[in-house]
Amino acid sequence: MLFNPEFCRNESEVESKLIVQYLLPQLGYTPDTWHQEVAVGSIRLDFLAFAAQVLPFVLDANSPLSVVMEAKHPKQNLNNHVLRLRHYLTSLNVGYGLLTNGREIRIYEKSESDIKLVFQCSGKEVEAKLEEIQDLIGRDSLKQKQLIDKSEIQISQEKQFNLHIQAQGKFSMKTIAIYHNKGGVGKTTVAVNLAAALSKKGRRVLLVDIDSQANTTFATGLIKFQFEEDDDLKDKNIYHLIESGEFNYIPDIVRQSQYFNNPEIDVIPSHITLIEYQEKLNKIASTRRRLVKKLNMVENHYDIVLIDTPPSRDYYAEIALIAADYLIIPSDLKPFANQGLPTVKNFIKDINEYREDIGKMPIKIMGVVASKISTNSKFLQYTFPKQRNVIKERYNLPLMEAVIYDRTVLSECMNQTITVGELEYPDPKSVIKYAEQSKSNAQQSAMEFEILADEVLQKMGIN
Ligand SMILES: Nc1ncnc2c1ncn2[C@@H]1O[C@H](COP(=O)(O)OP(=O)(O)OP(=O)(O)O)[C@@H](O)[C@H]1O
Ligand SMILES: [Mg+2]
């Protein structure tokens, strides 16, 4: 059977024509030994093929028997997907990864905590090079490598990765909007690091970015491309979720954060083009409730949803506040931020009126969280207590106990980069992960977010 890369005009043709119809059979994988669109925890693999027939299939820390195959659109540059493949292979302990956009085929081999390129050819050469590919990842040769005996696939329960996201259903999913109409007060910083802290505590977190600045999308490592043509977020972001009632559900849009945190978190990305669509969405009444509806459909998959919002009273902020059960208002407690609080309160009033119309309880204000607070001791002794009182007394809003101090490490960890070949890519980290990498200046800040996470859980009655 011949393979011609010209057959592959999009990602699904790369999947069907190159992988399913050509490579898998040529490599000896029968339909019972490969699986498409496999979810392992929050990782989603295009294809996972096993040398041995394993049903139900499980991956063990000691059984690097399988191959992950990832198909990309022919216009995608494979360089942009190497980091993600490395994450898949190393975190799932899979021996080999094939990465292709139809025009180019690469095979990577896992070694300890990294991967190395062991084979590369163009789509046109695939037939001529088939033997080489078979030697590396053919089912028979993987079996012969005897990396593990079939009997050893009887593995302990603890070591199993469950191949389905399981509903644990201990408590119902809670949604929190992080909002203030004042810009630059730390909404995004709070959203991403609170998400990271909650995830570290074992909660299943979904982070939704509904701000066209896409700062949360960036901060969670999803903007790893350098050129517009490699932008894989443009056609799959929060706009698409809100735009359609019939398609584009959360599992279709969601991404996993990239090298951002341990464990990584699920993210609904945003995009700069959101701004263009606002008017169009605003004209269709049903778009106001789409996020509510689509979140309801994943209520068994997540414990906590955090929504990072734009610094304005716009349609996207409205959508977020309609969807949320709780509201956290980050504020630097300075006069401008304070003077924005009556606007926030009026906005909440309007939102609650709409919520009542659709049979939803009023949004619960969890509180103002003091953020970007100076660590100057005189300030903390004299000014800060007064500022805190103002929130309660003048603005009549609850104040959270946790305080997020002004720490330069918070912008430092968000601005990390990594060099791959000749290109430098953004490689942002949560402050929680940054602290784990023994960056001592991060530990204080990480602890402050962990305290905030505890308070959030306690206020929702789920700690
Ligand atoms: N606690 C903090 N300590 C030090 N720097 C901070 C802190 N919080 C935020 N920053 C910095 O302040 C800037 C604005 O923060 P951030 O983006 O989180 O605010 P925002 O409210 O989300 O802004 P916008 O309204 O534009 O969405 C960023 O450069 C960020 O790194
Ligand atoms: Mg922001």
Please identify, among 106, 125, 159, the residue that sits at the C-terminal boundary of a domain. 159
Residue 169 lies in a domain: no
Render pLDDT for 415-441 as a digit per residue (tens, 0 to 9). Answer: 999 888 788 889 999 999 999 987 678
Q: For residue 189, report the distance from its CA to the centre of ligand 2, in Å.
A: 7
Residue 253 lies in a domain: yes
For the CA of 373, the closest atom of ligand 1 is 1
Please identify, among 124, 159, 194, the residue that sits at the C-terminal boundary of a domain. 159
286 and 250 belong to one structural domain: yes
Q: What's the mean pLDDT when you consider all of the chain?
A: 88
Which ligand neighbours the alpha carbon of 444 most closely?
1
Task: Tell me which residues have their CB within 5 A of the ion that is ligand 2.
Answer: 187-188, 215
CATH code for position 94? 3.90.1570.30
Residue 219 has pLDDT above 50, yes or no: yes
Dist CA 394 CA 202 (whole Å): 38
185 and 122 belong to one structural domain: no
Confidence of residue 164 (pLDDT cuts 50, 70, 90): very low
pLDDT score recorded for residue 265: 97
Residue 417 lies in a domain: yes
pLDDT score recorded for residue 160: 37
Instruction: Identify the domain containing residue 426 by its residue range.
Output: 174-459
Nearest to 268 by CA among 238, 308, 226: 238
Dist CA 44 CA 247 (whole Å): 19
Average pLDDT over residues 24-40: 84
335 and 238 belong to one structural domain: yes
Q: For residue 194, report the distance from its CA to the centre of ligand 2, in Å.
A: 14
Establish whether residue 11 lines the binding site of ligand 1, counting it when its CB lies within 6 angstroms of any ligand atom: no
Residue 238 has pLDDT above 80, yes or no: yes
Residue 167 has pLDDT above 50, yes or no: no
Residue 263 has pLDDT above 90, yes or no: yes
Strand partners, 43: 40
Residue 239 lies in a domain: yes
Q: Where are the beta strands (DSSP E) in 62-149?
A: 66-71, 96-100, 104-111, 114-122
Nearest to 368 by CA among 331, 336, 422, 320: 331
261 and 188 belong to one structural domain: yes
207 and 287 belong to one structural domain: yes
Q: What is the DSSP letter of 367?
A: E
Establish whether residue 410 lines the binding site of ligand 1, counting it when its CB lies within 6 angstroms of any ligand atom: yes
Which ligand neighbours the alpha carbon of 185 most closely?
1
pLDDT score recorded for residue 53: 56
Nearest to 300 by CA among 172, 461, 161, 176: 172
Task: State the total domains in the chain.
Answer: 2
CA distances 365 to 211, 272, 322, 339, 368, Å, are 20, 29, 13, 18, 8
Render pLDDT for 318-331 as a digit per residue (tens, 0 to 9). Answer: 999 999 999 999 99
CATH code for position 229? 3.40.50.300
Which ligand neighbours the alpha carbon of 181 most closely?
1
pLDDT score recorded for residue 421: 79
Residue 163 has pLDDT above 60, yes or no: no
237 and 110 belong to one structural domain: no
Establish whether residue 183 lines the binding site of ligand 1, counting it when its CB lies within 6 angstroms of any ligand atom: yes
Residue 49 has pLDDT above 90, yes or no: no
Residue located nearest, by CA, to atom 25 of ligand 1: 183
By three-state DSSP, how is residue 429 classified?
coil
What token pair was written down for 459? 């206020």
Establish whether residue 433 lines the binding site of ligand 1, counting it when its CB lies within 6 angstroms of any ligand atom: no
Confidence of residue 148 (pLDDT cuts 50, 70, 90): very low
Q: For residue 106, report the distance from its CA to the centre of ligand 2, in Å.
A: 38
Average pLDDT over residues 117-122: 95
Please identify, among 159, 184, 200, the residue that sits at the C-terminal boundary of a domain. 159
246 and 384 belong to one structural domain: yes
389 and 290 belong to one structural domain: yes
180 and 155 belong to one structural domain: no
For the CA of 406, the closest atom of ligand 1 is 3
Higher pLDDT residue, 228 or 255? 255
